[in-house]
Structure 1
């Protein structure tokens, strides 16, 4: 055999070995990317329930809350202290609660070492009170937004929104619920005793590096950070003892990238009663509810005396290819919370036949249509620019927005300051879980969603609202735009890059 042939055989053999090794390595990484805590038990920590925030009512009837952004340490596991951020505490924040028609003011003090914001996610309010990236609160400063609550009862939330840093600030622990009530919802006989038969559930996925949080992104993950376990209200491995036969769960996906498909371990049916922006017209029976980051749902589940049932997140069926399905969490499953029913339960009234009529337009009176193409590289091909207004909307008008994702990876779409009606998903009527008022909607690959929304916020040509992907790593990379609401016939102003609040 000639020397050339011998060298050629050696090189070919080496190539085959490297190819097999690479293939074997990929298979090892692929098989190890699936995460599951389902069926493992170990519910040993009683679920913490965020306290209701204290408030005062001034002479003019304004309800005033105080929030302090602060750093601290939290023992998620006994003896192991994790550096965290929180509102009025070391992790997460209290639940703010107000009623329709009330004027509210929130005094937000920043005791952190860096600037941040507080965005009122799902709230209809003036753009300059919205807490987006233009309303930065400097270290040591206080910001006091105020507005009148003018929307139906709903489960909203609050979280930071600094441009380019939102994922990090939320992961550290800055988040909380904001519950709105109205006379109609309180008169329906729904489970409504906070922390008893009406439970707030702030669901997050986390990963620990020793005692500290690990916030790193996997090399093959395109959605952002994905943890290997979940917490509810900052509680690992939680259980909750319940004493009513009907329990209302206010589900909030406060994770930064993970989408959950919630159901129970025995596949029992539950009733969906509300989506992001409030009550449905009628309760919808189902055994799964899918929530992407930022979305909320209120469900009512029936329990029997003495039983235990587990709220679980199941693998997703969203039509992703095998690569994105596995490395972006689609094959993962988690046991979220165990409900433990007492041996004797209080009887609850049956759910009413009708709940409420969502206050969202049907799109028939739309003044104009717009199109939004979602890509990590930017929306409609443009990355976020703080000084650029991407859309100008006439106050009091309805618009229809078509949102499309052909990016090959999952996205979702959140619009500030409004609630939307989903008119269609890929040309078909939305399923029951998507028929209520929505401010955040999941848009997986090869999906087109058509939304109708009415812009009733006050005209302000210089203060923009945001629209963006709420997979927060994508938002931070520039997958965001901004619009202003103006009087009819008026033009947009020119927002400054940063509005830092240095004083009270």
Structure 2
């Protein structure tokens, strides 16, 4: 059994000393969180008799113990899998890790996955980055109880990319991800295969997480008010489930597949000797050409495909991947509280991620292609709403993080969250600092948030990685207000804006415009902050595609 403490939104509000607000006097929209457990209880989805899978596997959510640090084993929650039908390379375990196995699929395959809940709590799994039907996307209303099985069936329609599979149960996503329930899913296609990029032992997943351990090597996860507001941060960096990760490499090119598996921590990745990071791709797959960058920002839920060439390095040398110093992602109030507590590794500080040691000299190595892929791009004129973007408003206030001015609630889709099927939508994400009142203006522009939030927006403003379920989007533009230019200057050269994305880091005072298609599938598709403490507080809404 886990002794971790996690505050639900209801308990958080009751214990937080809100002051000018009390539970008894909250307006109905604010107490909508109280009815989130009013989501329908749906029977687990069974297998379909007429669905003929090319790949079929069982995926188990279970509690176990794994050696993470020296000494006593650590209790974790873990994905394990068993291949029932399909290519042998479909499942690859990460040696000695609590992370789930890498699931490798091919575009065009029909896939059936039996999710078995062997936890002592409800769970459901989301395929972060995959374009799948709504009923197999991992919506919290499909959560299954201990002992139940949910069957996913879908065709892989994504281009080559790296996706994530992780839990998405109501108010418990953060704690389950933190305790180990996360894994990588790699999609391959013919376009990528023709490039001859490093593969096999030369293609390495790099899953970065931060954890906090007690003296008995057990995970500590107790966000409280501070952690729920600003994110929960550990003081140990793990790569693929291992601390102080050492990669032994040969003097040749490698393909490193980065995934930020932390619940809240943002990384500013850079090689310690100033070597540029050569980016091959991001969330939604390969870029059109490789891009060299001095550093790359990686927020929770984002992925990064990197070409790492050790060809000209001597045996015995090493290269360290670090997270460099930066600022502006957490308000001064949060940074002060973080430094005063026993986290030991404040967000935005400088620290190592892993070390690559050259242990073998070889002469053969893959060459970096000059062209990687062709991306079918949309222009604003292609969108259904070129003059009226769909708003995603970030509202920040005392004990509150909201999207579109409302907490997540079942059956609460607003007019501007209704999307016609098979349309391309222009979307604008921005921080509400207007100090509007009530919700009568929801979706009508800026300054529409809850009373008092606009006034507090400047003090509470922080960065939010916003994840949109469904198809990937393209970033059209980014702009920053003058009050936040200082912090922005420490991160803005690390944004890869040319590729297809499903998660975008929105800095304080920043406005991001993007174009997203809503094709093929009707139903509810979530969008939320991928700071998972925020998501579990209710910083999540839904698009109804109809």
Q: TM-score, normalised by structure 2?
A: 0.74
Q: Secondary structure at the match of 1:377?
A: strand
Q: Secondary structure at the match of 1:77?
A: coil
**Superposition pairs for residues 116-155 of structure 1, below 5 Å?**
116-155=123-162
1:404 aligns with 2:401: no
- In 1: Cα distance, 2:142 partner to 2:500 partner: 26
1:216 aligns with 2:222: yes
1:326: Cα distance to partner?
A: 5.9
- Residue by residue over 1:198-221, the C-alpha shift from the partner in whole angstroms, topping out at 9 and shown as x without a partner, is 110111000111221111237655
Aligned to 2:408: 384
Aligned to 2:393: 373
* C-alpha contact 2:209 2:237 (8 A) present in aligned 1: yes
1:427: Cα distance to partner?
A: 7.2
Aligned to 1:294: 301
Q: Pick the aligned partner of 2:273 from 257, 266, 278.
A: 266
- In 1: Cα distance, 2:257 partner to 2:278 partner: 12
1:114: Cα distance to partner?
A: 1.0
Q: Pick the aligned partner of 2:212 from 202, 207, 215.
A: 207
**Superposition pairs for residues 220-299 of structure 1, below 5 Å?**
220=226, 222-299=229-306
- Structure 2, unaligned runs of 5 or more: 1-49, 82-96, 339-345, 434-456, 482-491
Q: Secondary structure at the match of 2:139?
A: coil
- In 1: Cα distance, 2:134 partner to 2:302 partner: 21
- In 2: Cα distance, 1:84 partner to 1:139 partner: 16
* C-alpha contact 1:260 1:316 (8 A) present in aligned 2: no
* C-alpha contact 2:296 2:494 (8 A) present in aligned 1: no
- Residue by residue over 1:465-500, the C-alpha shift from the partner in whole angstroms, topping out at 9 and shown as x without a partner, is 1000000111111110011222xxxxxxxxxxxxxx
1:344 aligns with 2:368: no
Aligned to 1:26: none
Q: Pick the aligned partner of 1:426 from 448, 471, 479.
A: 479
- Residue by residue over 1:21-62, the C-alpha shift from the partner in whole angstroms, topping out at 9 and shown as x without a partner, is xxxxxxxxxxxxxxxxxxxxxxxxxxxxxxxxxxxxx99452
- In 2: Cα distance, 1:197 partner to 1:240 partner: 11
* C-alpha contact 1:361 1:454 (8 A) present in aligned 2: no
* C-alpha contact 2:268 2:326 (8 A) present in aligned 1: yes
1:395 aligns with 2:395: no
Q: Secondary structure at the match of 1:184?
A: helix
1:305 aligns with 2:322: no
Aligned to 2:17: none
* C-alpha contact 1:124 1:457 (8 A) present in aligned 2: no
* C-alpha contact 1:243 1:346 (8 A) present in aligned 2: no
Deviation larger for 305-314 or 85-94: 85-94
1:230: Cα distance to partner?
A: 0.5
CA change 1:258–1:319 in 2 (3 A) is closer
Q: Secondary structure at the match of 1:400?
A: strand
CA change 1:264–1:323 in 2 (3 A) is farther
1:151: Cα distance to partner?
A: 1.6
Aligned to 2:55: 63
- In 1: Cα distance, 2:347 partner to 2:63 partner: 33
- Higher Rg: 1
- In 2: Cα distance, 1:449 partner to 1:139 partner: 40
* C-alpha contact 2:270 2:324 (8 A) present in aligned 1: yes
* C-alpha contact 1:325 1:331 (8 A) present in aligned 2: no
Aligned to 1:18: none
Measured on the aligned residues, the alpha-carbon RMSD in Å equals 2.2
- Residue by residue over 1:206-258, the C-alpha shift from the partner in whole angstroms, topping out at 9 and shown as x without a partner, is 01112211112376553210111110111111111112511111110010010
Aligned to 1:474: 534
- In 1: Cα distance, 2:407 partner to 2:495 partner: 34
CA change 1:305–1:484 in 2 (3 A) is same
CA change 1:130–1:219 in 2 (3 A) is closer
Aligned to 1:74: 66
- Structure 1, unaligned runs of 5 or more: 1-57, 487-504
* C-alpha contact 1:363 1:453 (8 A) present in aligned 2: no
Q: TM-score, normalised by structure 1?
A: 0.80
CA change 1:322–1:392 in 2 (3 A) is closer
Deviation larger for 269-278 or 302-311: 302-311
Q: Secondary structure at the match of 2:496?
A: helix
Q: Figure out how many residues of one structure are paired with residues of the other and give that number.
A: 424
**Superposition pairs for residues 455-470 of structure 1, below 5 Å?**
455-459=518-522, 463-470=523-530
Q: Secondary structure at the match of 1:212?
A: coil
1:105: Cα distance to partner?
A: 1.1
